[in-house]
Amino acid sequence: MRLHVADHPLIAHKLSVLRDQSTDSARFRQLTEELVMLLAYEATRSVAVEDKEITTPVTTFTGTRLAEPRPVVVPILRAGLGMLDGMLRILPTAEVGFLGMVRDEETFEPSAYADRLPDDLSGRQVFVVDPMLATGGTLAMAIDFLLARGARDVTAVCLVSAPEGVERIERDYAQSANVEIYTAALDEKLNEKGYIVPGLGDAGDRMYGIVD
């Protein structure tokens, strides 16, 4: 597994505003989209391409296009949905799958309540998007869903990550798949409630408000 922590002043600035508890939901969603676009630029550096003959106003030219089969973007609901538009601005021809997961706040264990994925992901590059990589349980379950459908090339795009979650993914998937993590920040730790410190709070609630 390879971990990539973004090192860019624009990302650092936008993430700092995102962390601020006074940032309202509308601004939070806007900043999330902007951050994801910057992260996606790096995360797609190894996306598969092929040659394409084109005609410019001057001559013919061998250009480049994304190779088939197209990449798949998989947001983890609900907070990951706020990252989808940013990914699709960079990968507009990608297909989209969905995974609905929720974490038990007592045990920190995730459970899945919905999935909408292609039946066969063999040979597909898959980008999983979720704002928080905390314990790693949710991302691990998502990767297991993808591996079960034939995926072997999975890239996770996260806004903030905890060392505990990164270590779990590294331990669990060291041999079974090509897994990469792109994150805007590797934070200090998890607290006793399983929240990332300093983190940015509950990303889903901050994007969409609290739903009882």
Write down the catalytic residue from 20, 65, 107, 120: 107
205 classed as catalytic: yes
Residue 137's nearest CA partner among 113, 114, 168 is 168
Mean pLDDT taken over the chain: 90
43, 87 contact by CB (below 8 A): no
Predicted local distance difference test score (pLDDT) of residue 72: 94
Residue 155 among the catalytic residues: no
| pLDDT of 37 above 90 | yes
Report the binding-site residues for uracil. Answer: 196, 201-203
User: Which of the following is catalytic: 70, 103, 149, 152?
Assistant: 103
Q: What is the mean pLDDT of the segment spanning 88-112? A: 82
Known binding residues for 5-phospho-alpha-D-ribose 1-diphosphate: 78, 103, 130-138, 202
Instruction: Examine the residue annotation and report whether 202 is marked as an active-site residue of this protein.
Output: yes
pTM over 0.75: yes
Least confident of 115-119, 142-146, 185-189: 115-119
